Structure formats: structure tokens, C-alpha cells
Amino acid sequence: MAGYIIRRILWGIALLIIVCALTFVFFRVIPTGDPALLRAGRDPQPRHVEEIRRVLGLNKSIFAQFWQYMKGVFLHFDLGYSYYSNESVRSLIAERLPATISLAIGAAVIWVGAGISIGIISAIRTKTVMDRASMGSALLLVSAPEFWLGLIVLFLFADDIGKFKIFPGAGSYTPLTQDPTKWFTSMLLPWFVLAASGAAVYARLMRGSLIETMNEDYIRTARAKGLPEKKVLRQGVRASINPIVTLLGVEIGVLLGGAVLIETVFNIPGVGRLSYTSIVNSDFAVIEGTVLLAAMFIIVANIVVDIAYAFLDPRVRYS
Amino acid sequence: MSTGEPLLRVENLKVDFPGEDGVVHAVDGVSYEVQPGRTLGIVGESGSGKTVSSLTTLGLTRLQGAQISGRIMFEGRDLVSLKDEQLREIRGNDIAMIFQDPLSALHPLYRVGDQLVQAVRAHRDVPKKAARARAIDLLGLVGIPDPTKRVDQYPHEFSGGMRQRAMIAMALVNDPKLLIADEPTTALDVTVQAQILALMERLQRELGMAILIITHDLGVVAEMADEIAVMYAGRIVEMTSAERLFSNPEHPYTWGLLRSIPTMEGYTWGLMKAMATEGPPARQDLVPIPGTPPSLINPPSGCHFHPRCPYSQPEHTRVDPMLEALPDEPGHQVACLLESEQRRALWAQLRAGETPAEAIAAVNLPIQAETPEAGEAGTPQPQTPEAPL
């Protein structure tokens, strides 16, 4: 087991290097805009642009640039400096990480909690109005793009522009450390919108998985030995939850992708919006930093899920 | 059949499953009794209703939307009319059940011991520790070596035979009065099958429970059963003592079953033993029963077996036979429209190694010209699954 974990972590690091290299190459080979020109201001002198190139190291070969960058990342945890604002990328991300983490964790809790419980209720009440209604709305939520859903809920429920002024709207984000109540209410709409499609997918998956499990022989055995139906259901849920947990590792990527849109729509100062603005500004250093961070989250989440799987299912043995 | 008060008395049980293609008449008016401490074997092909009738005894077909009528009397109570909760109290307590495939019948994510503990604590308010001690005792009783270690293992760490032993242990933790065993050996290797049957016989001797064993394998019931009921298309077509069923079978379907088992030496020795009084049928070839089991949605008219029966008469397609005791043998019930003398004469011929056609000629049965052949007998009907389980 320990050997397995170490191998997985080493592979994870290798994967991060590959991700680094790919983003590095993408944004340099594919011309999205010359950062030196962007920084030089209106009608720049060619000499001035050259000077900026030299300072940013853009005049060196791509390999030299990459080597420089990797050295910084792995030896000093230094992600470079924003081409745009000259701030350190590390501190740019660190400033915005709490907002993104509170968005992602809150959404994940709603996502998994609502998804699984709606799935269970649908599975034990198959073909009832309840089941059809929740599966129907699940289909709707899966199909709705997040930015669209975000705008709709703002239009309906935000306390500034909404038809029903219930929840704080866009730009109301308050850090948790400043005012927990305000933080909580300001995050409700973003959480809901970010969780919606994931919860819908989970509800459908959980429903299918549980219906299948409840037809298994061992569930019949559980009934035959006289367990109360509640406990029988618990055994069914226990068995059908494993494939759902496995999916969580993959879904974390979807969640982070969604965070970019949600932070933009709700004007939350998080890493997602940072990466959005950095893409708009061709701010390579920041793009690379945020992509690297997201990749790290996904890789870590997958390792955690795989290890958790061994504890959830005694038949799984890693060696 | 003995005359004391039976432990379980099933009276005219009917179980229907409404489906999209029509109503599946899985069990169509079945009556039988199980005496305390005795063993009843129910034999039949897939889809004959043998499993559904026993699942219904435990109320396990209710969830599948089965329509149930008739009575299942157990210790003075009608299980058909009991509330779900009352039935749950009986399940795994007074009546326990083991299933065909021990591989899938144990929950893969719980330790074997925990699954036994759950069974104990579903019915008894005992501390976990005591329940665990009981689990270890039972695992030892069913012959699992080193039960104190095995109790903490998962099902995948057990072999197939060990799992079936664990299933039996789980069924017995609450000292049931009746054990229903649904094809308990079908999924096991032949050598393991014999061990499991021997185990069940030993446990029955030691614990005194009654056993209802359901199987398609006449060899199994030959070893285990005191009484045997043969089921076909949701009905019992013949029911008598095990000895009599093997020595004097009277239903053409039973003949077909007997002629379709391998009787090589060493195999189904229990059957050989049962037949030893008169010796096995002379013919050693396996003779399959022609045709396929009938649809349970639209069963054949008249005698349900007539499309596959070489001896059927024209009126058998219209008249539905009743399960009736033989005049000279009140303990032997048969649902067949032939006369008892005709049947005995036919079986004497078959036993001597004649084919059905030869037997018909010898007995001088007024019969239609063609004998149904395998594959073309009966109208082609969609095969009915055993039960929507």
C-alpha cells in the first residue's frame, strides 16, 4: 500500500511537469498576443519593446525559458511574475485561493449531498411523481450551461437586480474571516449554480446504481434474514456508493472548470476569475500558475479517491 | 405422509406477476405440507414456480408487485395475510433461507462475521459481543476451520463451498424451525455439493429443523428428501414419498425427469440408492424431455404438459387434470388424465428400457400417430424467465 502511494505521488509529479510543459508550449507557440507589446503601452518604441522582452526573458530560447520556469517552480515554489501587473503569481493566487476553495468545497458538499440523497429517494420511489419530477429537473440542470444558469438565478433572486430580492447578488463576496454570515449568504447562489449540474449527474447515477444494487442477491439475503427495510437499504447504498466516489476524482476537474465561469458571473475574486482575466490579458505566467494549480488539485484528488477506494471496497488491493 | 400437525401448510397458493406482456402465472394453485423435522423436496425445471413459491413463503415476492392468493399456514398463522413487519420478524428467525449462488448472496463489502451478527441482532436484543460469539460458534458448527479468524474475513476470502457454509451458518443463527434451501448446491463443484448436502443432513439431525429443498436435480432430493413434489408450469404434478417417487413414479413428466439424469455408476449415487429396490432403468442413454417449458403467461390448454407428453390423448388438450391421491395409495398424488393402470404399465415398459413409442404400442394406448420430438413440440412460445427476481 505504502509503495503504491509513493508510486502514485511520483507519477503525479511527472504528470505536473508534463502539464507545465504543455501549457508553456501552447501559449508560446500559439500566438495569442505578444506580452511585451501588451506591456509597452500605446505606440511603443521598438527599442522599448526589446527592452521588455529582455527583462521578461522572452528573447531567450523557449527551452531556456522553460528551464528557468521549472527551476523556479520546483526549487523555490516560485511561479514567476505577472506580465501585466508585475505582482508575484504565487501571491496573486494565494490572495484568491480562499474564495475559490470556499466556492468549491461548498459546491462539492451540495453536489454530493443533494445528488446522492435525491438519487436514493428516486430509486426507492421509482416511477412515482417524485421520481419523475427529480429526474426531469436533473435532466434540465445537466443541460443548462453554468453561466446561463448563473445569470438566470441572478436575474430571479439577486437582491439588487432580481425579481425576487432574496439572496445577495453578484460582487457581494465577503471573506469568511471577515463576516461568516455574510460569507455564507453571499455564497449560496454561486454554490447552488456550481453544484447544479454535478448534483443532477450524481442523482441520476446514484438512482441507477441503487436500483441495480437493490436487485442483487445479497440484498435478497439481507431481507431473508429479517433485517428491517431501512437497514436493507443502507446495505444497498453502501454497495452502490463506490462507483460514485470513484467519479469524484474526475469531477473535481469539472468543478474547477465551472468555478472559472461562476466566479466571473458572480464577480467573486477567486483563482477562476484570475485565470479568466489572465487569459484575456495573455498573462502567461498567471495562466501557467493557475493551470498548474488546477492540475495539482485534480491529481491529488484522484490519488485520494483511489486510496479511499481501497478502504471502501475490501476486494481492492493495491500492490 | 405423516399425519401430525404440519409445520408449514401451503394451501392453493397462487402467485401472479403482472407484466408488460401479460400476467405471469408463476405459481398456479399449489398445496403442500412440511412436517416438523422432515424434508420436502420440490423439483422442477427453471420457470416451474418452485423458487417463487418459496420466496412467497417469506414474503419476498411482495416487493416485486406479486399478486398472491391462497394460504401459507405456519404455526397457526397465515403468512399471506401477515403485515410486512410481522413477516419480517419470522424471516431469518423461524424460517430461514439459503440461496443458489453463495458468491453473490453474501454482501461483498461486509465481513462474514458482521453479516452473521446482523442476522442475530435483527431478531434478538443481544450485545454485539454475544452475537459475535454466536457467529463464531455457528461458523464452527458448519465446518469452517479456524472460525475465530474467519469471522473477520470478507466473502471474497472464502471459497465457494465455504461461502455456502457461511450462508448456512447465517441461516441457522436464530435456530429456525424451517430452513428453505433454494438450489443450495447448484453453483458448487460436484465434490463440494456432496459435502454441503451431508452438512445439511447432519445439521438437521442435530438441530431438528424441517427443510424445504428446492432443486432441479433429482439426485439432490434423492439424498435429502423424505417427500418430493414435482412442479411443472406453476403446479405440482406429482407428490409422494421419496422412495415411492423413484420406484413407482406415475406422472409422464416425472418419467421424463428420471430418464434424463445420468445414471453412471458413482454419479447421483443417492438416486441409485433410492432405486436400488428395483434397480435403475435398463437403458443407459440420456433421454431428454422434448420441447421447452411452456409460457407462464399463456399456459397450454388442458393438461399443461400435453404439448410435450408422448402419451397425451385428444381430450387432454381440453381437460385440466386435478392433483388427486391414488385410490390404493393415499400418500401418492398425481395430476394426470391417464388411468393409473395405464401409467403403471407404461412405466414398467420404460423401466425395462423401451422408448415411449414402444411403450405405447406395448400398452396398447389409443394414441395419436406422431410423438412430439425435441424442438418441435408445443407451439413456439417465448421462454418465460424463472421469475422477475
Structural Rg of chain B based on CA atoms? 22
Whether residue B60 and residue A223 make contact (CB cut-off 8 A), yes or no, is yes
Question: Higher pLDDT residue, A69 or B276?
Answer: A69
CA–CA dist A288, A23 (Å, integer): 6
Whether residue A224 and residue B99 make contact (CB cut-off 8 A), yes or no, is yes
Per-residue pLDDT band for B137 (boundaries 50, 70, 90) equals very high
Q: Look at residue B383 and tell me whether its pLDDT is greater than 80.
A: no
Per DSSP, which regions of chain B are E strands?
A: 8-19, 22-34, 39-43, 67-74, 77-78, 95-98, 178-182, 210-215, 227-232, 235-241, 324-326, 329-334
Per-residue pLDDT band for B73 (boundaries 50, 70, 90) equals very high
Question: What's the pLDDT at A247?
Answer: 84
Question: What's the pLDDT at A257?
Answer: 85
| Residue B171 with chain A: CB contacts under 8 Å | 225
Q: How many interface pairs between A and B have CB atoms less than 8 angstroms apart?
A: 81
Whether residue A225 and residue B58 make contact (CB cut-off 8 A), yes or no, is no
| Closest approach of A222 to chain B, Cα-based (Å) | 8
Question: What integer is the mean pLDDT of B51-71?
Answer: 90
The C-alpha angle with vertex B84 and arms to B41 and B115, in degrees rounded to 5, equals 70
Question: What integer is the mean pLDDT of A70-80?
Answer: 82
CA–CA dist B17, A1 (Å, integer): 49
Helix (H) or strand (E) holding B223: helix B218-224
Most confident of A72-76, A260-264, B100-104: A260-264
| Closest approach of A217 to chain B, Cα-based (Å) | 5
Question: What's the pLDDT at B275?
Answer: 59
* Grid cell 408463476 in the structure block, residue: B26
Interface test with A, best of B52, B64, B88 (most A CBs within 10 A): B88
CA–CA dist A205, A198 (Å, integer): 10
Residue-wise DSSP of B27-49: EEEEEEEE-TT-EEEEE--TTSS
* Grid cell 445439511 in the structure block, residue: B200
Three-state secondary structure call for residue B374:
coil
B325 contacts: CB under 8 Å, gap ≥ 6: B331, B332, B333
Q: Does A235 touch chain B (CB under 8 A)?
A: yes
Question: What's the pLDDT at A33?
Answer: 63
Question: What's the pLDDT at B165?
Answer: 92
Per-residue pLDDT band for B385 (boundaries 50, 70, 90) equals very low
Q: Mind listing the pLDDT tens digit for each residue in B280-324?
A: 555 456 677 888 888 889 889 999 999 999 888 888 999 999 999
| Domain at A89-312, CATH from 1.10.3470.10, 1.10.3720.10, 1.10.260.40, 3.60.21.10 | 1.10.3720.10
Name the average pLDDT for chain B: 86
User: Could you say which of B63, B123, B154 has the minimum Cβ distance to residue A226?
Assistant: B123
Whether residue B107 and residue A221 make contact (CB cut-off 8 A), yes or no, is yes
Q: Mind listing the pLDDT tens digit for each residue in A139-172?
A: 888 888 888 999 998 898 888 888 888 888 888 8
Q: Mind listing the pLDDT tens digit for each residue in A93-122?
A: 999 999 999 999 999 999 999 999 999 999
| Closest approach of A299 to chain B, Cα-based (Å) | 27
User: Could you say which of B89, B156, B171 has the minimum Cβ distance to residue A315?
Assistant: B156
One-letter amino acid of A199:
A
Q: Where in chain A is the domain with CATH 1.10.3720.10?
A: 89-312
Q: Mind listing the pLDDT tens digit for each residue in A266-285?
A: 999 999 999 989 888 878 78
CA–CA dist A26, B126 (Å, integer): 67
Question: What's the pLDDT at B367?
Answer: 61
**What chain A residue is nearest to B87 in terms of C-alpha separation?**
A226
Q: Is the CB of residue B103 less than 8 Å from the CB of residue B163?
A: yes
Annotated domain spans of chain B: 107-169
Question: What's the pLDDT at B384?
Answer: 46
Question: What's the pLDDT at B276?
Answer: 55
Question: What's the pLDDT at B284?
Answer: 53
Task: Provide the phi-psi class of B310: left if phi over 0, else alpha when psi is between -120 and 50, else beta.
Answer: alpha
Nearest to B63 by CA among A204, A124, A209, A184: A124
Q: Is the CB of residue B198 less than 8 Å from the CB of residue B117?
A: no
Model ipTM? 0.83
Whether residue B108 and residue A218 make contact (CB cut-off 8 A), yes or no, is yes
**What chain B residue is nearest to A216 in terms of C-alpha separation?**
B104
| A4-13, A252-261, A306-315, B273-282: least confidently modelled range | B273-282
Q: Does A60 touch chain B (CB under 8 A)?
A: no
The C-alpha angle with vertex A24 and arms to A23 and A26, in degrees rounded to 5, equals 60
| Residue B175 with chain A: CB contacts under 8 Å | none
pTM of the model: 0.81
Task: Provide the phi-psi class of A45: left if phi over 0, else alpha when psi is between -120 and 50, else beta.
Answer: beta
Nearest to B219 by CA among B181, B252, B179, B186: B186
Whether residue B91 and residue A239 make contact (CB cut-off 8 A), yes or no, is no
Total Cβ atoms within 10 A of residue A306: 16
Q: Mind listing the pLDDT tens digit for each residue in B352-366?
A: 778 888 888 888 887
Question: What's the pLDDT at B277?
Answer: 53
User: Could you say which of B63, B89, B99 has the minimum Cβ distance to residue A221?
Assistant: B99
